Structure 1
Amino acid sequence: MKKSITIMQPATAALLAAVLLSACNVAPKYEQPPLAVPETLSPGAGTPVIASEASLAFAQAQTWIQDAQLREVVALALSHNRDLRVAIENIERARAQYGISRADLLPSVNAQTQASRTRIAEDLSSTGRSSVNNQFTAQLGFASYEIDFWGRVRNLNEAALQSFLQSEDNQQNVQIALVADVTNAWLNLAADKARLQLAKVTLEAREKSYELTKKIFDIGSTSGLVLAQNLSTVETARGDVAAFTSQVDRSRNALQLLVGGPVPANLLPAESLMSSSSGGATALLPSPEGLPSSLLLQRPDLQAAEHNLRIMNANIGAARAAMFPTISLTSSLGTGSNELNGLFGGGNSTWSFVPLIRIPIFDAGRLQAGVQVAESNQRTAVAQYDKAVQTAFREVSDVLADRAQWSERLRAQEAMVQATQKTFDLSEARFTSGADNYLTVLDAQRSLYAAQQTLLTLRLAEQINRVTLWKALGGREAVAQS
């Protein structure tokens, strides 16, 4: 009886341990992420975000961005943009997947212990009496390790490696696109604030003109038609002020979405940034003639496309290897006993060695079709790579074609603004002296306002062209200056 109690104690402990472990859960506790938006929907609400030191260092190295405020905004985006976070996590996933593939090159060694207690009934026993048997084993070995004669596992490992490298290039491409998008959004906000400022100045000038016209009307020196026409220009300008005020808020929201949070007010662009032809937030060196097309191969998107080619090529090797015999090994080395205290005693060692050869004989063409699919994917990847190179070539060529004419276009539009300003001043003077009607003033006023707005639009487009050139060349600092 005492012996039976001693034997039952390990079984009872094992049962208790199994019950306790069944209640364990190693999954992380779910916590709803905090809302990444301000508590209120009012414009400019929320606590401004802060950039990390690494992002600040990267942004300060972007010497092609002249404006210090813009560089800090770029750093904020690099720290908090969600698309960039997704790209970074894709790298981590690809790195882990590559680690799994590398592990397949080596056998997995596992340790296993087992204990069993069995009662045999009297009718089933060879002695005619019931009995209780104990068995304890401990083993160390590996299962189903494939000997890679034909390179199937090596090719799958190569495909995983290229996928990891491709994810790094994709992340770099996302980062370049993010810097360009943030710069463009910041410049658009600057242009909208400049348009709003122009609309306010125009409204103020037209209100003064209306007051002057009303005084002339009160003394009977002009008609009610002229007064009404003058008032219409005032209300038109007032409507523009309201429209551009709304546009500024929308542009600020677009910038904050790219950044990933509210942007500090001191980092927002000033109204005067786009109002001066001598200013500018970006600067690029004049591009030399005859840039080699091979320069484009350094673009991250093209490097990612090339890694995809290597993935498809490795998949062909894996598909072809699957058509050959597969040799797998399973082996173990251990010890066994019917008593726990004799488990590691002499003469109780055990071992097994199980080689397995799988030879494909008939699969209705499945393996051959798999090779054909892999080869078709590889040809598709080649076509996609060629298209990506051609697209990159066109993007750079288009940007350079526009870049060559921007100086002339800006000079022509600035001259247009000066000419329409002079026309407006002369027509207003002639109307005030009674030498001309107000329709001439209205026409000159509208022409001047349109020319000023067009100039702001051209200045914005010229700045965006510089950003696009930097992006099209793969974010190369070789074309930048401080």
Structure 2
Amino acid sequence: MKHAFLKKAFFLHLSGLLFLAGCSMAPNYTRPEAPVPQAWPSGPAYKGAASQALEPEAVQLKWEQFFINPQLRKLIKLALDNNRDLRIATLNVEKSRAQYRIQRADLLPSINGNGNATMERTPSDLSSSGEAITSHSYTLNLGVSSYEVDLFGRVQSLKDQALEQFLSTEQAVRSVRLSLVAEVANNYLTLAADRERLKLARETLESQRVSYNLIKSRFSAGASSELDLRQAQTSVDSARVDVARYTSQVAQDENLLALVVGGPVPAELLPSGFEAAGMMRELSSGVPSEVLQRRPDIMEAEHLLKGANANIGAARAAFFPRITLNTSIGTSSDQLSGLFSPGSFAWGFAPQFTLPIFDFGRNKAGLTVAERDRDIYLAQYEKSIQSAFREVADALAVNGTITEQLDAQQSLVQATSESYRLSQARYMGGISSYLDVLVSQRSLYTTQQSLIGVNLTKLSNLVTLYKVLGGGSE
């Protein structure tokens, strides 16, 4: 009966201390005001960019819904499965989760069971009776060792900081995933564009060879000068240079895509055509406040800010007393068979009280460090918002003007194509020199290559817009 009363008193005392624990001294957290305007920029560069006639939920599309091209979808899936950067980020999440669980466990006492046996022989020379004595001692305990009663919230603040760090790593993984999806898409589009450039260079080389053979025949017949022949040869050699250059560039694009994907890219997943590669959904921009709260990099920065804010509570609590408990309850006997006999019950309660008196400014300096860390993370959080606003604004500026630029470039290609046709006709009619033909041909080739570049800019910017708007839901 007495044993039951002592046990009950022991656990009631321990429960009372646990109830008193947990008073946090961390500052109340309020989300800082975003240091950016409430609306996206406006002006000629943003024509139609912020008021697209699209469904509001378009900005929340998953990547599988945003990218329509089935080859690109498969490549992105391969990258998400194999990419080492994403794997490292995921492992960091698991590590951070384990660290949070360790910190959270400090809020509760660790109850350990231990037993020991002591056998000691005292020689006759040291014995008070003049005879050798052999003594035995057996103990079996269940107790709490070095448990800190968190009266001022130090352990709770450390736990909150660990939680925010864990949550920040989760957002870091989302950010890596989003960046990886965009990188695969952009590399895929670049490869498609360079393949298109290589195709154009080969077609131009073939056309220039035909022209060269024609000029060579005319030169042999005395109808063309050697200058015309050499100019035609320079056009052929220039096209050969471009074919070799773009062949190398395509190979490098494929190697880069394989690196991002995390393994060899099957031939059937490589882009077959530039137009088909760019099949994507359009996006609406939304409003800044919604976009900035959806981006994982900003959410990561805010979690780090919250963690730094919680750490101030731990630094403040260091100024106050710290109470540590060492308790035990069990049995003790000089005979192993007597451990559970009546009268063998034993208990111990050893609280320790620590009050900082002279720490030579250590705790004050620690608080200053915690507060400056909070200020640093606040500045980084605000900078991430400003950078995000700028990225979205830049993408909207391109998106608002790229259609007009594309129309102008297509018109320019048509005009230079007609100029090339007319210069050829005038040369064959003996009205103008072959130099006019050469200039027109080079202008046409340059504008055709530029058209591929403008198309690539349009598609890549759409991928960038998807990324900077937050990448939709996971």
Name the TM-score, length of structure 1 as normaliser.
0.83
For 1:152, give the aligned amino acid: R
2:147 is paired with a residue whose SS is strand
* Native 8 Å contact 1:60 1:71 kept in 2: no
Q: Distance in 2 between matches of 1:330 and 1:371?
A: 29
Corresponding residue of 1:234: 236
CA contact (8 A) 2:141 2:330 kept: yes
CA distance in structure 2 between the partners assigned to 1:152 and 1:471 by the alignment: 39
Alignment partner, residue 468 of structure 2: 472
Query: Could you tell which deviates more after superposition, 110-119 or 161-170?
Result: 110-119
Tell me what 1:74 maps to.
Answer: 76
Q: Which protein has greater RCO, CA pairs closer than 8 Å, 6+ apart? A: 2
SS of alignment partner, residue 331 of structure 1: strand
- 1:308 corresponding residue in structure 2: 304
CA contact (8 A) 2:61 2:473 kept: no
Q: Are 2:340 and 1:344 equivalent residues in the alignment?
A: yes
**Structure 1 468/61 Cα, relative in aligned 2: closer, same or farther at 3 Å?**
closer
Which residue of 2 is the match for residue 171 of structure 1? 173
Specify the SS of the correspondent of 1:344: coil
Deviation at 1:294, TM superposition (A): 4.1
Aligned partner of 1:283 among 257, 281, 284: 281
Deviation at 1:133, TM superposition (A): 2.8
CA contact (8 A) 2:165 2:307 kept: yes
Q: Amino acid of the residue matched to residue 376 of structure 1?
A: R
Deviation at 1:59, TM superposition (A): 10
2:335 maps to amino acid: E
SS of equivalent residue, structure 1 residue 425: helix
Q: How does 1:119-134 map to 2 (within 5 A)?
A: 119-134=121-136
Q: Of 331, 356, 359, which residue of structure 2 is paired with 1:360?
A: 356
Structure 2: tracts of 5 or more residues without a match? 1-59
Aligned residues: 415
Distance 1:330 1:192, change over 3 A: same
Structure 1, unmatched stretches of 5+, are: 1-57
Give per-residue Cα distances to partners, 1:190-239, cap 9 Å, x unaligned.
01111111111111111111111111112121122211221121111111
Q: Distance in 1 between matches of 2:124 and 2:204?
A: 110
Give me the whole-angstrom Cα distance separating, in 2, the residues matched to 1:264 and 1:273.
18
What residue in structure 1 maps to residue 374 of structure 2?
378
d(CA) in 1 for partners of 2:317, 2:306: 17
Contact persistence 2:62–2:473 (CA under 8 A)? no
Structure 1 segments of 4+ aligned residues over 6 angstroms from their partners: none
Q: What amino acid does structure 2 have at the position aligned with 1:63?
A: Q
- Give the Cα separation in 2 of the matches to 1:267 and 1:468: 22
Matching residue of 1:150:
152
Q: Partners in 2 of 1:135 and 1:263 — Cα distance? A: 72
Q: Deviations over 1:389-426 (max 9, x none)?
A: 11111111111111110000000001111111111111
After superposition, the Cα gap between the structure-2 partners of 1:163 and 1:189, relative to the gap in structure 1 and judged at 3 Å, is: same
Q: Conserved in 1, the CA contact under 8 Å of 2:283 and 2:466? A: no
Q: What do the CA deviations read for 1:295-346 (whole angstroms, capped 9, x no partner)?
A: 3122111111111111111101110011100111101112223332333333
Checking the alignment, whether the CA contact within 8 Å between 1:59 and 1:75 is kept in structure 2 is: no
| Alignment partners' CA distance in 2, 1:293 and 1:400 | 16
Match for residue 141 of structure 2? 139
- Describe the SS at the equivalent of 2:257: helix
**Selected match of 1:460 from 434, 437, 456:** 456
Q: 1:459 and 1:375 mapped to 2: Cα distance? A: 50
- State the Cα RMSD in Å: 1.9
TM-score computed with the length of structure 2 as normaliser: 0.84
Spell out, residue by residue over 1:156-178, the C-alpha distance to the aligned partner (whole angstroms, 9 max, x if none): 11111111111111111111111
Tell me, in whole angstroms, the C-alpha distance in 2 between the residues paired with 1:431 and 1:146: 96
- 1:273 corresponding residue in structure 2: 274
CA contact (8 A) 1:169 1:303 kept: yes
Percent identity of paired positions between Structure 1 and Structure 2? 48
